[in-house]
Amino acid sequence: MRIHRWLAAGSVLLAQPALANGGGYFRGGVERAGDVAGFEPEETEKIRILDEKLTVALGQKSADVEVRYLMRNEMDKKVKVRFGFPVEESFDENDFGMPDQVENKKPDQPGYCRNYVITASGVSTAAKWQAEEKSGEQKPFKGLAGWLISEITFAPGEEKPVMIRFESSYPLKEWSVSDDSSTGASLFKYRLSTAACWSGTISTGRIVLKPAGIDPQELKVLKPVNRFKKEGDAWVWNFENLEPAMADDMEVEASPSVDTFPVRFGSSDGSEYVNRGGRWSMSHANYQIKASSTLPADGTHSYQAENVKTSRPDIAWSEGARGTGIGEWLEIIPEVSKPLAAIEIWPGFTSSEEYYQANARPKKISIDLNGEYQFSVDVPDRRESFRIPIKGYSKPVDKLRMTFKEVWPGSKYEDLCVSGVKLHVRLDKKPKIQPAR
């Protein structure tokens, strides 16, 4: 298990001693010299945010974040600003509820803020990591690991577009007792309050929270209250002349807590009862399966479609057609027809990272239910299971076909692989759970 430092995405912070209330983030001077000194921005009180557009695409394991600002120099002279983007600590937790330990070394830039990019007028700008030594000491700074610091120069009266983009992993909390297991809710946070440190109000803004591979019904805005409105599957907040405060800081649940229990102790079929935020289902591999093609066996290694029923990482189905596997398919016939809540797939050959990268993996899948309901889904390139929620179709499923429309190419082989497929059947009520042994 591991520690994540994920961006509590928010408007860049300033800590000048004489501006408004700064959202409570004022520090008032450098406290001591050196790399661990308190971060002190410069000249940000002279720049106003005219517009802020934040888009958060919430996936199953992480969120892709993009924020676009239009900033204006309020002065009639050139201004060079030094500012920081807040990075918030977030620990994975083990079975004992304690944060996992990691090697205590200082990174040049937080490795858990994946692919952090900042541009000004389309030109890439450097970002330097600096730790926040007041993390945990007082409320505004509590939980902040540090800052990604950049500098931008504005001409007199200049309006300049600034863009920040990154990927933010959700903190992982999981524990188990015997064969029972639990995973905490997937949470994303955004500190809008740090924008109070810039000049004036945010003139206009739009924040869009959109599902990207998660069930839209499970997406919840926990904080702030009474700001967001539903637009299709997304939650949207439009505002004008906002004076951001801590009450505006965001906390979003991308997916609920999940508890799993074996249907029968000692059973080898892997069937489980699943409680997702109070909604029950049963996951199973009780089905017949056939494939459009299969790679011939290599000695004792078989690549038959039946391999996906085990969800074992050391075996997989591999297609046997020429090319990358685009257009190949798996067809599943459940032993008993039931409405599906989701399909869970283990894309690629998951026995090791080496084998995973060497072979092709599904990137876009077309799902066909009963030959009458179709939809497509994008699959992230990760060596882990991916849940495909079934939306808008409640009939019992007699036949399911997955056609692979796009693939992540393998570094060594063209063969497209899938290591596991489970069906999640909807349950009307809580099943009888056997006590953990």
The partner residues of 388 in beta bridges, in order of sequence, read 343
pLDDT digit string (tens) for the chain, length 437 residues: 333 434 444 555 433 333 333 444 544 433 333 333 356 678 889 999 999 999 999 999 899 999 999 999 999 999 999 998 887 765 555 544 444 443 333 444 454 577 899 999 999 999 998 887 765 656 666 777 778 899 999 999 999 999 999 998 888 777 767 677 888 899 998 888 877 778 999 999 999 999 998 999 999 999 999 999 999 999 999 999 999 888 999 999 999 999 999 887 655 668 999 999 999 999 999 999 999 999 999 888 899 999 999 878 889 999 999 999 999 999 999 999 999 999 999 999 999 999 999 999 999 999 999 999 999 999 999 999 999 999 999 999 999 999 999 999 999 999 999 999 999 999 999 998 876 66
The partner residues of 210 in beta bridges, in order of sequence, read 57
Please name the amino acid found at residue 360.
Answer: A
Q: Are strands 234-242 and 340-347 parallel, antiparallel or unpaired?
A: unpaired
CA dist., res. 368 & res. 343, Å (int): 12
Provide the whole-model pTM: 0.82
How high is the pLDDT of residue 91? 53
How high is the pLDDT of residue 136? 60
CB atoms within 10 A of CB 62: 22
CATH number of 259-426: 2.60.120.260
SS3 99: strand
Angle at Cα 226 formed by Cα 222 and Cα 231, nearest 5°?
85
- The boundaries of every CATH 2.60.40.3680 domain in the chain are 3-255
How high is the pLDDT of residue 32? 32
Each residue's pLDDT tens digit, 89-127: 655 555 444 444 433 334 444 545 778 999 999 999 999
Rg of the chain in Å (alpha carbons): 25
- CA–chain centroid gap for 85, Å, is 19
How high is the pLDDT of residue 146? 79
How high is the pLDDT of residue 239? 97
- The boundaries of every CATH 2.60.120.260 domain in the chain are 259-426
How high is the pLDDT of residue 263? 85
Tokens 């299709």, residue? 232
Tokens 């406290």, residue? 31
**In the CATH hierarchy, which top-level class contains the domain 3-255?**
mainly beta
Q: Are 167 and 225 in contact (CB under 8 A)?
A: no
- CA–chain centroid gap for 330, Å, is 27
